Amino acid sequence: MSIAEIHGKLSPETVNDRMEDLLTSDVFGTMYYAGWEKGFRDWLLEAQPVRTSGNTLGQFIGSSPVEEVLFSFWPTLPNDKEPDVALLLKSKDGTCRVLLVEAKYLSGPSNAYVIQDESSDSPRTGNQLADQMDGFSKANHDPLIASWFPGTCQTGQLPFAHILVTSHRRLPAEVYKESLESLHRAGMAEFPCPAFWLSWRSLTPHLERYSPLIHDPAGRLILDLITLLEQKELRTFAGFHDLPWPAPVTSGSFWRFSFGHCMRSWVELNLTEGGDTLFWKERL
């Protein structure tokens, strides 16, 4: 069953959007069914603050243990923007916090040029991330939370944070620079909430400790998700330790490595007769 299909996200549209919605459904759908404590919590806690002086996500959540996580997929804000997922974290001390998640895979933010309407109750900057943060910060949280998480009793504004998930290997600084510039043009000096970035590539190591539980339904879901992430090549590079080690080198021998059809290069490794000195010769 696909949560993306339930929410009408598989209708004809751009291929990139469909791929992002499916990935969101696969990852956060597995988190929904298997439980966030099975690797997903530790993955989320790896989220990197956009501001170097910002708190970690763990500090934002607080020290009280989270007892319940509620999900809202593709919820709508008063300014008509849609985060991919909203998570309501209920802690043991009775406090609640909201995480707005925007997921990207093969494309960047869906920004759009907008004409400012001063009379509008929900103005937009045209920047997807900025409008999601600003839209939630200015919304009346009582009816919004009630519509996103039916049955939840909420009074007053909730602390919230925004997380962008991408396939980048490092924080996409240019994306956040554009978001902040959009806020500046709209008369706002700073992000209206803590902003974080997270990579899809860092998820698999957190899931692997639970994948051997194949006789448990959650374990089977997680194993399938790991397989999917590997097929999409969304895994952090783990170094060369998995590569076969070459045969021992003796005096006068050499290794040759091919660096691709474009370079047509090879490298020769030599040992001196004493065996104490290594030097490289490279031919292009």
pLDDT recorded at residue 88: 97
The mean pLDDT value of the chain amounts to 79
For residues 155-169, give the mean pLDDT: 95
What confidence category does residue 6 fall into, taking pLDDT thresholds of 50, 70 and 90? low
The amino acid present at 7, given as its one-letter code, is H
Q: Which two tokens stand for residue 11?
A: 């209708």
Q: Is pLDDT above 60 for 211? A: yes
Cβ atoms of 182 and 127 within 8 Å: the answer is yes
Per-residue pLDDT band at 8 (split at 50, 70, 90): low
Sole residue written with tokens 């043009």: 185
Distance of CA 66 to the CA centre of its chain: 20
User: Are the beta carbons of 198 and 40 closer than 8 angstroms?
Assistant: no
- Per cent of the chain over pLDDT 70 is 70
Between residues 158 and 269, which one has the greater pLDDT? Answer: 158
CA–CA dist 10, 17 (Å, integer): 9
List pLDDT tens digits, range 43-68. 999 999 998 888 999 999 999 999 99
Instruction: Report whether 84 contacts 74 (CB < 8 A).
Output: yes
SS3 68: strand
Q: Is 278 helix (H, G, I), strand (E, B) or coil?
A: strand
Q: Could you tell me the maximum CA-CA distance found in the chain, to the nearest angstrom?
A: 83
69 vs 91: CA distance, rounded Å: 9
Burial class of residue 123, CB neighbours in 10 A (0-12, 13-18, 19+) = middle
| Residue 102 pLDDT exceeds 70 | yes
Lowest mean pLDDT among 55-59, 226-230, 271-275: 271-275
Residues forming a β-bridge with 69: 89
Q: Report residue 68 as tokens.
A: 């319940």
283 has pLDDT over 80: no
